Amino acid sequence: MIIQSTNIPDVKLITPKIFEDDRGYFFESFRDDIFKKEIGEINFIQDNESKSSFGVMRGLHYQLPPYAQSKLVRVVKGKVLDVAVDIRKSSPYFGKYVSAELSEENKLQMFIPQGFAHAYLVLSDEAIFQYKVDNYYSPEHDRGIIYYDTQLNISWTLVPSQIVVSDKDKKLPFLNDAELFD
């Protein structure tokens, strides 16, 4: 697997080495020794999966300490635009974002460390999205930022009328009003 830094060095794109033949394909989606060498010590403790339809937006979500989460995300079926926003106030990249198209075809993964808000937008008819996290879900520490915040200026690729957002996510604050990381 190839692990590359993005325009925000702490966010990584991971390209697996895929072995294909007439039977199908095989690849390692996670390998602890390579991950530790290239990214560092992360103890993933939970795997999650979601299924969503075209236009569904999930995010921008994060958890505050002590339940902050690092995530390793990938698409099993379909295609999404995946986005990570740096919400560490002391970071030189504060308010900046990384985006990448993750799909069943390219098998790219994104590593998103603690201190980032995360979202994805489904670009295919449906998508199955998997992710590993290094901390458990805590409703009391769950936070978010509204996806259309003009300060972030994220290019979502779909027009607003195509985007489907949960009632909870419609009520998220703007970056300037959100509880963030120091």
Q: What percent of the chain has pLDDT over 90?
A: 94
Which listed residue (25, 61, 67, 141) is catalytic? 61
Residue 123's pLDDT is: 98
Phi and psi, residue 104, nearest 5°: -65, -25
The one-letter amino acid code at 170 reads K
Please indicate whether residue 131 is annotated as part of the active site. Answer: yes
Provide mean pLDDT across the span 164-171: 96
Strand partners, 25: 20
pTM: 0.94
Q: What local confidence, expressed as pLDDT, does residue 16 receive?
A: 92
97, 131, 147, 148: which one is catalytic?
131
One-letter identity of residue 138: S
Taken in order of first residue, the domains within the chain and their CATH numbers are: 2-177 (2.60.120.10)
* Mean pLDDT computed over every residue of the chain: 96
Is 118 an active-site residue?
Answer: no
Using 50, 70 and 90 to split pLDDT, how confident is the model at 182?
confident
Calpha distance 146→21 (Å, rounded): 44
Who's near 123: CB < 8 A, 6+ residues apart? 54, 78, 79, 80, 81, 101, 157, 158
Order of strands across the sheet with 109-112? 2-5, 12-15, 109-112, 71-77, 126-133, 46-53
Q: Residue 67's pLDDT is what?
A: 97
- pLDDT tens, residue by residue, 75-128: 999 999 999 999 999 999 999 999 999 999 999 999 999 999 999 999 999 999
The predicted model gives 37-61 an average pLDDT of 96
Q: Which two tokens stand for residue 74?
A: 């990938």
